[in-house]
Every structure is written in structure tokens, then in C-alpha cells.
Structure 1
Amino acid sequence: MESPRSLLLCLITIGLGTLIEGCDDGWVPYKNNCYWFSRERIWFFIMQWITVCSQCFEGYGHVWLGLTDVSREGRYVYSSTGVKPRYLNWHRTEPAGGKGENCAVLVTTQRAWHDYPCTSKMSYVCKKPEKRMDLNSNYCK
């Protein structure tokens, strides 16, 4: 028979459901995700998994968004998935580069997107989900 203490712990645990463990050191939590902001600058094509949190970029200048139209001019998609973004924030004069500017950046001073040559060096941001532990699967079995 279960002790009253373990039964209480089990009921509390079931009520909690999921415990958010947070982000790794150096990563910034925001809306159930973790973001890592590079200080180094890289070429666009080195990136594998990039996304952006535009509120987090003060002082970063220009930041790669992970979008490119290199496969089809004027159709920007994420380089990692080939999917079109659900949100667009082009500056009113952009994209304007034609075939010479096939990668998108966030210009933080304007809080708007521009197209740039993919050979330019820019900072970047990585995103991953916060660590979570399903308490129901680890307790009260």
C-alpha cells in the first residue's frame, strides 16, 4: 500500500504535467524556445538551422534570417527546409537586389528585412525548443 506522502507526491506530480527545465548556458529563453546569438560573422551558406527573434537583436547590426531565393528568383524560402516564411517584414524598398542579392537579413536599426549577397558575412541566431520533462511519464507508475 502506498504511503500518504508518496500518494500526495503522485497527485502533485500529475497536476503539474510538464516541467520546463529551461535553456542551456548562453541561450536566451523566449516563448518556449531557446535562442543563441552569435558574436561571430559567417557566410550564409555555412548555416544549417537558422531563425530569428527580431526583438532580441539590439546592437547586432545585420543578422542572417536563413531565407534565400537562390533556387527561384523572388521566392524566398528557408534554406534549411525549403518552406516559405509565414511572416514577411521586408523594408518598403526590398527585396531589390535581383540576381546579385539572394539572401535575406534583418537590418536591426530599421527592424526590417533586406536582401544581400550571400557571400557577405553576418551574425546569426539559432533556435531550439526549451528542455521539458514530462512528469507524468517519469513518476507515479
Structure 2
Amino acid sequence: MSSKLVIVAFLFCGIRSINCAGCHVGWIQYQNKCYWFSHDSRPWGEAESICAVFHSKLAEPRTASESSFLISHSQRNGGIYWIGISDMIEEDRWIYSSDQTVILVNNFQPGEPNAHTAANCVALWPAFHGKWADEACGANYRFVCETEFEEVDVVG
């Protein structure tokens, strides 16, 4: 029985040993995270709630390479995408929505943010080649959810 389990694990995980990892179907892996780019549009708060249903959060780019990945993929897909950054709590203090820490990466388009209290949420904006723009949180845009890369240990 355990030899069959090892064979199945090998076939399922490829040549990664018995410890395999992956993203859910429809999610895209980048480094140690999985991302889901929505096809429908919602206001920022609803987008955040939808991500939570999937045990994830709106994407929070914390490195330049992660931000570049999100920008590149959003450009490939087309459309405007919400990410998990806002200044709702304090004007011009841009924070990650999940833990309210100040952003580590800043990819705002030059001249952005520019709408002050009228726009408190961040979107990847196609006219700016995916760079960030501050937008009114009630606008309906696509969104990107993020979750940690799942590891599955096969016990035999």
C-alpha cells in the first residue's frame, strides 16, 4: 500500500521528491505565493471579502519583483485590478490592508496618488502600463487575490 502511495505522489508531484506543493486550479504561482486574477468586477471592499472567502487577501506586493509580476500579468490580462493597498485610515499613509503596515514597495505612476480623499484604494491601471493609481474604492474593477503557496507532505 505505501509503495502505491509513493508512486502516486511521484506522479502527482513530478520529480520534486515526496514533498509537493501547488496552487489551486485557476491560481498562478509566483515565488512562494499563489495569485488569482478575477474576471468580474467589484468595489474594493467586496473584492476584499471575495478574496477572504477563498482564504486569501487582496494582493499585497511587498517586493519590487512581486509588484512587477502583478503589473505584468495584469497587463497581459487587460483591465484595471484592485490590490490590497489603501489610505482609508489616514490620508497619504498607504498601507497593506491585511496588517495595516506601511507599504514596502511604491509603484505609483508619476503624478499619482492625486485624488486625495476622493480616492483611497489602489488599482493597477492599464493606461499607466500597470503602475498604481489611487481610485475611488466604490468603483467596480477586477481584482487580484493572494495566498501562500500550499505544501503537501505525503506520508508513507
Counterparts of 1:35 and 1:120 in 2: how far apart (Å)?
Answer: 22
Show the 5 A alignment for 1:98-117. 98-109=116-127, 110-117=129-136
Post-superposition offset of 1:112:
0.9
Find the residue that maps to 2:77 and give its secondary structure.
Answer: coil
Find the residue that maps to 1:54 and give its secondary structure.
Answer: helix
Find the residue that maps to 1:42 and give its secondary structure.
Answer: coil
1:125 corresponds in structure 2 to 144
AA partner of residue 72 (structure 2): Q
Aligned-pair Cα RMSD in Å: 2.3
1:55 corresponds in structure 2 to 72
Counterparts of 2:18 and 2:88 in 1: how far apart (Å)?
Answer: 41
Counterparts of 1:32 and 1:67 in 2: how far apart (Å)?
Answer: 20
Find the residue that maps to 2:117 and give its secondary structure.
Answer: helix
Pick closer, same or farther for the CA change 1:112–1:18 going to 2, 3 Å: farther
Gaps of 5+ in 1: 1-5, 10-15
Find the residue that maps to 1:81 and give its secondary structure.
Answer: coil
2:45 corresponds in structure 1 to 45
Post-superposition offset of 1:31:
1.3
Query: Which has the larger helix fraction?
Result: 2
TM-score computed with the length of structure 2 as normaliser: 0.70
2:36 maps to 1:36: yes
Pick closer, same or farther for the CA change 1:33–1:18 going to 2, 3 Å: farther
TM-score computed with the length of structure 1 as normaliser: 0.77
Counterparts of 1:86 and 1:20 in 2: how far apart (Å)?
Answer: 30
Gaps of 5+ in 2: 7-15, 50-56, 62-69
1:21 corresponds in structure 2 to 21
Post-superposition offset of 1:18:
6.5
Counterparts of 2:18 and 2:101 in 1: how far apart (Å)?
Answer: 30
- Determine what percentage of the aligned residue pairs are the same residue: 27
Instruction: Report the structure number with the largest CA radius of gyration.
Output: 1
56-65 or 38-47, which moves further after superposition? 56-65
Find the residue that maps to 1:66 and give its secondary structure.
Answer: strand
Give the total of aligned pairs. 125
AA partner of residue 54 (structure 1): I
Contact 1:20 1:130 in 2 (8 A): no
Find the residue that maps to 1:99 and give its secondary structure.
Answer: helix
